[in-house]
Structure 1
Amino acid sequence: MNLQPLLQFSRLLLLSAIIMPHAAKSLANPQAIVVGAGPVGMAASLILATRHGYDVTLLESSPESSSQAKYDPTKAFLYNVNARGQTLTKMFPSMHDKLVARGVESRGFSDATFTIVPADPNVPIPQKQKMDKSFELKEDDDKENKKQLQSVTKSEKAASPGYWIPRHEMVTLMAECIQEHNDNLGTNKGGKISFLTGRECLDVSPGTSCVNVKIRTGARDNITLQANLVIGADGMNSKVRECLSHSADGTWNASSPKPKLFQLQKYVSPASFLRIKVLQLPPRFEIPDANNNPALVTNSENIYAIRSIHKGPRNYLSLGLLPMKNNNAIRPTNIVTRPDHEVWTLKDGKSIKSWFEEAFPRMKFDGMISDEEWERFAKAEGTRFPYCQHSKGMAVWDESGNNGVALVGDAIHAFPPDIGQGVNAGLMDVVCLDRALSGLDTVCGKPITESKQLYTLADNLARYQQQHAPEIAALIRLARFGAPYQYRQPHRADKFSRTLWTMNVALRLILNKITFKLIQPSCIILSQRPELTFRQVMRRADLTTLLLKAVVLGVIGVKCRVCFGFA
């Protein structure tokens, strides 16, 4: 007897037992599906359920055994949730309280402290220093250049603090907020959030009075869910965006963005394609000092930069450790290099350990890092920083205007992490979507008109598309030019370009001071002001660029007239 059809039917019944009670509980509530259960996807689920009354099904392709709330060395990076990201967290007091309690407060680059550990073991470890305006950890700048770079604006000093927090802990606190919301449904208004793991999105298409989302529930089992609103929060390789880019013209409402607008616009930054992987150091590890000074016992809330003795373009390395709250947790250090670095040629634990012992003679790796960790690190493929990329298309809607799809987070924009805006920009996408669904201006959050006009879902998604797309384009420009050399890429061309970039930042800071802020500083400094949108940041920086170009052309014109007798 063939039992395969019966087994498949049983699986479908099990899935129905999970989903149908949620749908039957409140048939009056609109239905939403959020694809992707990272921080941005969880934020979108909370917004839809608490503020717009949706019953939300949150889909995550990873199986439960590899939950994103667990520490994973392949994703051991930290977020700095700044004032932009806190626009969302402050909408949920419990979430913001958890962020403050579990994060390490940071008031911007001007107030950050760090310890540079010299490569030479005979050189004493200096005291903690202030971070300069080049946003690099440098020990070789001349004093005058440092004095210029350390100038900070009052607006940056007064900015509200950001909070460093590991990614898995950010996911954990958001999952706790979702559980709190579901537990209080009896007293709070809103819809329920159902979390389904191991559910891969295969297709998104318009249906009859709904949006169809085809998902894989097992090795061979597929099922189609239906919703009024689908949110793609599934990362830079978004399946939801891919489906929208491959849909035929006319599939969605004719007024929706065309499929070609959902094809990624890609730009190369000096940080694009850098390779990265994580070496795990033990908590409170010790760094030997010189002159018989006691060893420096590291603290999780401090920043460290440990230099290697190698200075060549293919062997220079610096171990950077960012702050985290738990002093008993593993300290991940990101190895960020050009793809041709020697470290990527070593494929076994013994050889990679020998390389690190030679490169960092100050460090005592024996007893600090296990052979198993060296082996894991050597075999890890790591990942690469992406292009600076974005999708011009951000939302579609069907012919009825009552059903649609919207993208948030890395599904619409991705870039290297050097400007520190990744998670913050994603959370602001959710804030702007919330404003659009509320019938508000996505930029300022104010009503579009004084009349109490009722907008359809199509109207709101069209506003999200129209008003937020230029903001994302400006964000990508900021990512391209903001701070792409902070990884101290060691190639000669990198060093020359980094020098020019540092001079540009310093010049704009000097002009900003001597003109009493009439001339604006560089875009990376302006981006630290949360009251400015990314469009405003880039417009102000562009005005300074135009002024500098005009001055240069004017000087050239005068020189030509003097030398050759013509204007």
Structure 2
Amino acid sequence: MNIPTRSAIFLSLLFHRTVLSLQPPAPRAIVVGAGPVGIAASLVLASRHGYDVTLLESSPETSIQTKYDPTKAFLYNVNARGQTLTKMFPNLHDKLVKRSVESKGFADATITVVPADPNLPIPKSSKLEKSFEMRNNENNEAGNAMPKSEKAVGVGYWIPRHEMVGLMVECIDEHNEKGEGGKISFYTGKECTSVSPRDVGGVFVEVYQADLVVGADGMNSKVRECLSHPRSAVGGWSLDCPKPNYFKLKKWRSPASFLRIKVLQLPPQFEIPDAEGNPPLITNSENIYAIRSIYKGPRNYLSLGLLPMKNNTAVRATNIVTRPDHEVWKLKDGNAIQTWFEKAFPRMNFNGMISNEEWDRFARAEGTRFPHCQYSRGMAVWDENGDSGVALVGDAIHAFPPDIGQGVNAGLMDVVCLDRALSGLDTVTGKEAKSAKENDKPSLGKNLARYQKQHSPEIASLIRLARFGAPYQYRQPHRADRILRTLWTLNVAMRLILNKITFNLVPPTCIILSQRPELTFRQVMRKADLTTLFLKVVVFGLIGLRFRPRLEILSMLKP
């Protein structure tokens, strides 16, 4: 057995050091925003594209995102679109399935509707469709009916936001432990205030430099704001990039815009008293409940809705969603708000259920408001050499009220499309993209340009869906709301009837089409537009037939 000499060992170490020094360094990326979409972008860039990722979050501590917070106590339903991303990472998808409540759509979901009158027995849980029919018959309002054919395609998963973030952070740790691909470094308390290109190459976010920056920092995105500033003529982005004004938001108001929302925390497995002689109903976290109030007026109507969650021992949060002029926003004292709720919900024993501290917190909470339906036409920029650039994903490029259930799913699909673009693939189909010139060398700039060109029309269609999909599901109680809700429901019903009698030749309404994950948002809205065109042709045809005799008489009277 030959024992290597000191000289041989030294030469071997020198050789390996020389080889390592000749290898190009890993590309660097910065992701701004550590919500679900930002974490998804970090995982994709590190594991699939070999980037060393710096993930920046403005919150002062990581636990802010991964622990329950009543100001962010809402649930995601990760549907088939969002699962396009989660299934790229088997461990991520497995965690999601195990920690969530499975949902198979409107046809499969059950709901317990609790009447306001305490003398009425609580009906047994029923299919969501039937409960909407019951509500329609109770109130005799056509605007409350849920079409029977509204069925979701595929399986979705209900999970609280903080739990979704938590399991994704676990996936970051697991990725770093494997040591495969790039490394993800997570920093909190780092707020982005500047994004700028450099002549020496790369993009700077504060003191951090990278080849690629991904803005996933929400609807008030600082990254997008920086891209909307005027640019210098030298040393900036390529002239082929979207102009600064493309990064200024286009906004539309929907019937759900500016609704105010805040959370009332209920204890786990709380009891709902039943009619006399019946035992109380003990709630279960995996069931859906709708608890009605006695108030029906424009400024005092309220219904408590509870969506499914896996943990049956966790706090049960119910979202209070109303118009800004609702009475609950005028009550700033815990005792006053408790008294109001006890009158509104005479069936409930709030006095023994909710603490004085929670009533005080709820009364003082200002909550948040649903945004406009808004999006940025600009989604990416790149430098003149195509070596560095910036891309936007999630709420940084689109935001809308949560009534179509596509918020987190659309954001995760943004990351999927960015992944496809960086891989040289068509962002819509995931297939190999056709280059304008066969000899074109792939570059980051060209891939970002593809992301901008192909994904921008998809987001424009998403915002149209948000404007018209289901803007009255919160049963806004103003009289004008009720009239418009009835008209909207009649429109939905008419499209469903046409869809049935034409054997699917005429597509159904867009909110139903959006439940089909094989359709892009552009395809959804194109199909809905075909129905709109058909209805216009029918209406104008009927008008023409109605006035045709008069037009003939007038033509005969002309000399």
Which of 213, 221, 224 aligns to 1:238? It is: 221
Distance in 1, matches of 2:130 and 2:504, equals 17
Amino acid at match of 2:485: R
Which of 67, 83, 97 aligns to 2:64? It is: 67
Shift of residue 144, structure 1, vs aligned partner: 12
Which of 138, 143, 162 aligns to 1:168? It is: 162
Shift of residue 292, structure 1, vs aligned partner: 1.6
Report what 2:105 is aligned to. Answer: 108
Which of 511, 517, 520 aligns to 1:524? It is: 511
Shift of residue 267, structure 1, vs aligned partner: 0.2
> CA, structure 1 residues 284+452, in 2 after alignment: closer, same or farther (shift >3 Å)?
farther
Please tell me whether the aligned partners of residues 133 and 150 of structure 1 are also in contact (alpha carbons under 8 angstroms): no
**Secondary structure of the corresponding residue to residue 80 of structure 1:** strand
Amino acid at match of 1:558: L
Report what 2:391 is aligned to. Answer: 406
Please tell me whether the aligned partners of residues 148 and 510 of structure 1 are also in contact (alpha carbons under 8 angstroms): no
User: 1:68-100 deviations in whole A, cap 9, x for unaligned?
Assistant: 011100000000000000000000000000111
Shift of residue 431, structure 1, vs aligned partner: 0.1
Report what 1:338 is aligned to. Answer: 323
Residues 1:58 and 2:55 aligned together? yes
Q: Which moved more, 1:240-249 or 1:467-476?
A: 240-249
> CA, structure 1 residues 556+419, in 2 after alignment: closer, same or farther (shift >3 Å)?
same
Amino acid at match of 1:418: D
> CA, structure 1 residues 169+136, in 2 after alignment: closer, same or farther (shift >3 Å)?
farther
Amino acid at match of 2:277: N
Q: Specify the structure having the higher radius of gyration (Cα).
A: 2
Amino acid at match of 2:458: E
**Secondary structure of the corresponding residue to residue 452 of structure 2:** helix
Q: Which moved more, 1:424-433 or 1:511-520?
A: 511-520
Distance in 2, matches of 1:275 and 1:380, equals 11
Residues 1:555 and 2:539 aligned together? no
Residues 1:281 and 2:266 aligned together? yes
Shift of residue 563, structure 1, vs aligned partner: 4.7
Shift of residue 449, structure 1, vs aligned partner: 3.3
Which of 31, 38, 41 aligns to 2:38? It is: 41
> CA, structure 1 residues 88+65, in 2 after alignment: closer, same or farther (shift >3 Å)?
closer
Distance in 2, matches of 1:256 and 1:481, equals 31
Please tell me whether the aligned partners of residues 272 and 386 of structure 1 are also in contact (alpha carbons under 8 angstroms): yes
Shift of residue 131, structure 1, vs aligned partner: 2.0
User: 1:406-428 deviations in whole A, cap 9, x for unaligned?
Assistant: 00000000000000000000000
Residues 1:534 and 2:517 aligned together? no
Please show how residues 123-522 of structure 1 align to structure 2 within 5 Å: 123-132=120-129, 138-140=135-137, 149-152=146-149, 156=151, 159-185=153-179, 188=180, 190-215=181-206, 224-248=207-231, 250=233, 251-449=236-434, 454-522=441-509
User: 1:536-556 deviations in whole A, cap 9, x for unaligned?
Assistant: 000000110111011011101
User: 1:160-194 deviations in whole A, cap 9, x for unaligned?
Assistant: 20000000000001001111000001xx3x10000
Please tell me whether the aligned partners of residues 305 and 318 of structure 1 are also in contact (alpha carbons under 8 angstroms): yes
Ranges in structure 1 where 5+ consecutive residues have no aligned partner: 1-23, 216-223
Distance in 2, matches of 1:440 and 1:535, equals 19
Shift of residue 504, structure 1, vs aligned partner: 1.3
Report what 1:87 is aligned to. Answer: 84
Q: Which moved more, 1:108-117 or 1:206-215?
A: 206-215
Please tell me whether the aligned partners of residues 142 and 486 of structure 2 are also in contact (alpha carbons under 8 angstroms): no
Distance in 1, matches of 2:288 and 2:333, equals 29
Amino acid at match of 1:283: P
Please tell me whether the aligned partners of residues 148 and 506 of structure 1 are also in contact (alpha carbons under 8 angstroms): no
Ranges in structure 2 where 5+ consecutive residues have no aligned partner: 1-20
Distance in 2, matches of 1:152 and 1:209, equals 59
Distance in 2, matches of 1:460 and 1:479, equals 28
Distance in 2, matches of 1:136 and 1:438, equals 48
Amino acid at match of 1:180: E
**Secondary structure of the corresponding residue to residue 290 of structure 2:** strand
Q: Which moved more, 1:495-504 or 1:176-185?
A: 495-504
Amino acid at match of 1:168: H
Given the two structures, how large is their TM-score scaled by the length of structure 1? 0.90
Shift of residue 132, structure 1, vs aligned partner: 2.8
Shift of residue 291, structure 1, vs aligned partner: 3.1
Please tell me whether the aligned partners of residues 262 and 367 of structure 2 are also in contact (alpha carbons under 8 angstroms): yes
Distance in 2, matches of 1:176 and 1:402, equals 32
Please tell me whether the aligned partners of residues 133 and 146 of structure 2 are also in contact (alpha carbons under 8 angstroms): no
Structure 1 vs Structure 2 CA RMSD: 2.2
Residues 1:29 and 2:16 aligned together? no
Please tell me whether the aligned partners of residues 306 and 316 of structure 2 are also in contact (alpha carbons under 8 angstroms): yes
Distance in 2, matches of 1:288 and 1:82, equals 34
Shift of residue 145, structure 1, vs aligned partner: 7.2
Distance in 1, matches of 2:95 and 2:143, equals 37
Given the two structures, how large is their TM-score scaled by the length of structure 2? 0.91
Please tell me whether the aligned partners of residues 124 and 290 of structure 1 are also in contact (alpha carbons under 8 angstroms): yes
**Secondary structure of the corresponding residue to residue 67 of structure 1:** helix
Distance in 2, matches of 1:300 and 1:248, equals 52
Please tell me whether the aligned partners of residues 209 and 400 of structure 1 are also in contact (alpha carbons under 8 angstroms): no
Distance in 2, matches of 1:274 and 1:55, equals 41
User: 1:402-457 deviations in whole A, cap 9, x for unaligned?
Assistant: 00000000000000000000000000000000000000000000001396964110
Distance in 1, matches of 2:24 and 2:132, equals 53
Distance in 1, matches of 2:532 and 2:309, equals 37
Amino acid at match of 1:193: I
Shift of residue 214, structure 1, vs aligned partner: 4.0
Please tell me whether the aligned partners of residues 378 and 456 of structure 2 are also in contact (alpha carbons under 8 angstroms): yes
Instruction: Give percent identity, aligned residues only.
Output: 71
Distance in 2, matches of 1:265 and 1:488, equals 26
**Secondary structure of the corresponding residue to residue 429 of structure 1:** helix
**Secondary structure of the corresponding residue to residue 311 of structure 1:** coil
> CA, structure 1 residues 318+271, in 2 after alignment: closer, same or farther (shift >3 Å)?
same
> How many correspondences in the alignment?
529
Shift of residue 212, structure 1, vs aligned partner: 3.8
Report what 1:96 is aligned to. Answer: 93
Please tell me whether the aligned partners of residues 465 and 511 of structure 2 are also in contact (alpha carbons under 8 angstroms): yes
Please tell me whether the aligned partners of residues 227 and 244 of structure 2 are also in contact (alpha carbons under 8 angstroms): yes
Report what 1:117 is aligned to. Answer: 114
Amino acid at match of 2:412: L
Distance in 1, matches of 2:133 and 2:45, equals 40
Distance in 1, matches of 2:95 and 2:26, equals 29
Distance in 2, matches of 1:169 and 1:247, equals 40
